[in-house]
């Protein structure tokens, strides 16, 4: 596998991203279905580990999984005014089945608030039925004019949580708990990717929500990627679908609902935040294969000895490390090194005849290519060393991404400084602007307000657009 198949990041970042996906064998274009991709086994395996770690966190907070229909009556979508306005351009519509024209066409779910609201209205009667905490793992479809694997495709995979509460306070608590204790915890601790937490502006919030909260991550080109959102839907969907409950005082009240989700764009975030010009880099906690052991041999006799030694070593790894022994005899060790490096396996262990004689192995870490990341380790202490090294790599990737974000976040006080900043990363600015001001920023600088951070300054400053004095700061950036 030649090195020159991956375009350098500093030459063409967009092409580099596509090259890494191809070289790591993560996905393929589904040319027969416009805008869709095939998740190849290597790519889907990463999603399975993302799904597993998230599902554990979601269930630990008291939520349960269910599954709702893929097809939604179009009349449901139109019940919430902001919702239909926001999603109308993205809908895939089914107007007939078997030649029979449908009086009420179906749409393929772009999101499930409406059909889930329909069922919640039937399931909820009393305050005793609350809170209702349900999540589903599903696929959705939204029309996209410009697609990019994992980041924007017509069909993508995700989880979407939908909950119902008795009060606004309970709904708000749920919304923020998911953002902080589930999404932030997962992305920072499993993906090794620091995020900025905050609230979306009215312009950027989810269609039909009262408030939308977000976690934003910086990619290596300085752009922001929305890694997860959590929405307090207020009573908008409850009123549209008549989700009511009889309270303890025998009064019929509309409930308060939330929704929240993350998607397979997290795979795109992982690629763009950590990988390098050699290929994919996967944080150890999400790596389908954490350690690959490459036995080195020249003939059948050496092969038998190397495989026997490899079996003894890896017997100690079971239950501790996800590993693979690459015992192929039709490709060279150099080919194997390059292939596993390109595919992002965190650690490579090399075991040759001299290593067996010396009772050592060579250990190479993916996040530090070349001699700097290669050491020789005694076979007796190898298991413990690898377990510790996996955690070391996990932390190193987070620290590197955190430092990169810090180095590419700029305080700006006027539009000229904003223009320079968004070419390189995040711009932090005082803001008292309107939706019209946001439109201007987007038109002139191709940037948006990514978040109103939870952490706000104590001192005031002047809005970069209006000049009005304010204590509110926002993060502006170009985004995926």
Residue 462: per-residue pLDDT: 98
For 60-65, what is the mean pLDDT? 98
Res. 76 pLDDT band, cuts 50 70 90: very high
Residue 128: per-residue pLDDT: 98
**CB under 8 Å to 167, separation ≥6 — which residues?**
256
Residue 89: per-residue pLDDT: 83
3-state helix, strand, coil split of the chain in percent (to 5) is: 40, 30, 35
Q: Which of 211, 218, 153, 198 is nearest to 403 (CA)?
A: 218
Residue 82: per-residue pLDDT: 76
Q: Going from the N-terminus, what domains does the chain have, and what CATH number goes with each?
A: 3-70+113-274 (3.30.930.10), 291-389 (3.40.50.800), 409-477 (3.30.110.30)
Residue 232: per-residue pLDDT: 98
187: its two tokens: 């992305």
For 70-91, what is the mean pLDDT? 85
Instruction: Report how many helices (DSSP H) and strands (DSSP E) the chain contains, helices first.
Output: 15, 25
Q: Which of 117, 135, 63, 121 is nearest to 245 (CA)?
A: 121
pLDDT digits 0-9 by tens, 254-292? 999 999 999 999 999 999 999 999 999 999 999 999 999
For 194, list phi and psi in degrees, rounded to 5.
-70, 145
For 198-214, what is the mean pLDDT? 96
Give the span between the Cα atoms of 323 and 328, in whole angstroms: 15
Does the structure show a pLDDT above 90 at 105?
yes
pLDDT digits 0-9 by tens, 130-154? 999 999 999 999 998 889 999 999 9
Mean pLDDT (the chain) is 96
Residue 413: per-residue pLDDT: 97
- DSSP code of 264? T
Res. 4 pLDDT band, cuts 50 70 90: low
Does the structure show a pLDDT above 60 at 2?
no
Q: Which of 274, 61, 75, 71 is nearest to 173 (CA)?
A: 61
pLDDT digits 0-9 by tens, 356-399? 999 999 999 999 988 999 999 999 999 999 999 999 999 999 99
Alpha helices for 143-241 (secondary structure H): 168-177, 185-189, 236-240
pTM score of the predicted model: 0.95
Give the span between the Cα atoms of 37 and 39, in whole angstroms: 6
Q: What is the biggest distance separating any 2 CA atoms in the chain, rounded to whole angstroms? A: 83
Asked whether the beta carbons of 243 and 114 are under 8 A apart, the reply is no
Res. 3 pLDDT band, cuts 50 70 90: low
Res. 1 pLDDT band, cuts 50 70 90: very low
Beta bridge pairs of residue 276: 279
Q: Which of 326, 338, 393, 399 is nearest to 365 (CA)?
A: 393
Residue 454: per-residue pLDDT: 98
Query: What percent of the chain shows pLDDT beyond 90?
Result: 94
Give the span between the Cα atoms of 139 and 120, in whole angstroms: 20
Question: In which residue are the tokens 């029979």 written?
Answer: 100
447: its two tokens: 């940037």
């Amino acid at each position: 596998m030649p090195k020159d198949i991956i375009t350098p990041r500093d030459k063409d970042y967009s092409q580099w991203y596509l090259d890494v996906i191809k070289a790591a064998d993560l996905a393929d274009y589904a040319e027969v279905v416009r805008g869709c991709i095939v998740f190849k086994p290597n790519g889907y395996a990463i999603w399975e580990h993302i799904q597993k770690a998230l599902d554990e966190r979601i269930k630990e907070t008291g939520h349960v999984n269910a599954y709702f229909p893929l097809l939604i009556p179009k009349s449901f979508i139109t019940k919430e005014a902001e919702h239909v306005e926001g999603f109308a351009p993205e809908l895939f519509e089914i107007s007939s089945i078997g030649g029979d024209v449908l009086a009420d066409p179906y749409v393929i779910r772009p999101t499930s608030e409406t059909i889930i609201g329909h069922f919640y209205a039937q399931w909820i009667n009393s305050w005793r039925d609350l809170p209702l905490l349900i999540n589903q793992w599903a696929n959705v479809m939204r029309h996209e004019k410009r697609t990019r694997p994992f980041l924007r495709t017509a069909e993508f995979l995700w989880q979407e949580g939908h909950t119902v509460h008795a009060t606004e306070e309970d709904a708000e608590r749920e919304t923020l708990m998911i953002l902080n204790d589930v999404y932030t915890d997962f992305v920072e601790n499993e993906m090794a990717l620091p995020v900025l937490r905050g609230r979306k502006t009215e312009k950027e919030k989810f269609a039909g929500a009262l408030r939308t909260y977000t976690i934003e991550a910086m990619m290596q080109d300085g752009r922001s990627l929305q890694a997860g959102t959590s929405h307090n839907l207020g009573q908008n969907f409850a009123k549209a679908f008549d989700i009511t409950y009889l309270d303890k005082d025998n009064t019929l009240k509309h409930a308060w609902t939330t929704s929240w989700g993350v998607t397979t764009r997290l795979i795109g975030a992982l690629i763009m935040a950590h990988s390098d010009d050699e290929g994919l880099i996967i944080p150890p906690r999400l790596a389908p294969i954490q350690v690959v052991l490459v036995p080195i041999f020249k003939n059948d006799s050496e092969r038998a000895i190397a495989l026997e030694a490899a079996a003894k070593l890896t017997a100690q790894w079971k239950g501790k490390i996800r590993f693979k022994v690459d015992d192929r005899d039709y490709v060279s060790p150099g080919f194997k090194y390059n292939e596993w490096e390109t595919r992002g396996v965190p650690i490579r262990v090399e075991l040759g005849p001299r290593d067996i004689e010396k009772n050592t192995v060579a250990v190479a870490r993916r996040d530090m290519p070349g001699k700097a990341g290669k050491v020789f380790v005694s076979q007796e202490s190898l298991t413990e060393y690898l377990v510790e090294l996996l955690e070391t790599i996990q932390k190193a990737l987070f620290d590197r991404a955190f430092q990169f974000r810090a180095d590419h976040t700029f305080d700006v006080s006027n539009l000229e400084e904003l223009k320079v900043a968004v070419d390189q990363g995040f711009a932090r600015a005082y803001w008292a602007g309107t939706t019209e001001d946001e439109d201007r920023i987007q038109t002139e600088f191709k940037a948006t307000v990514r978040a109103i951070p939870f952490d706000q300054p104590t001192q005031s400053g002047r809005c970069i657009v209006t000049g009005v004095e304010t204590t509110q700061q926002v993060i502006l950036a170009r985004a995926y």
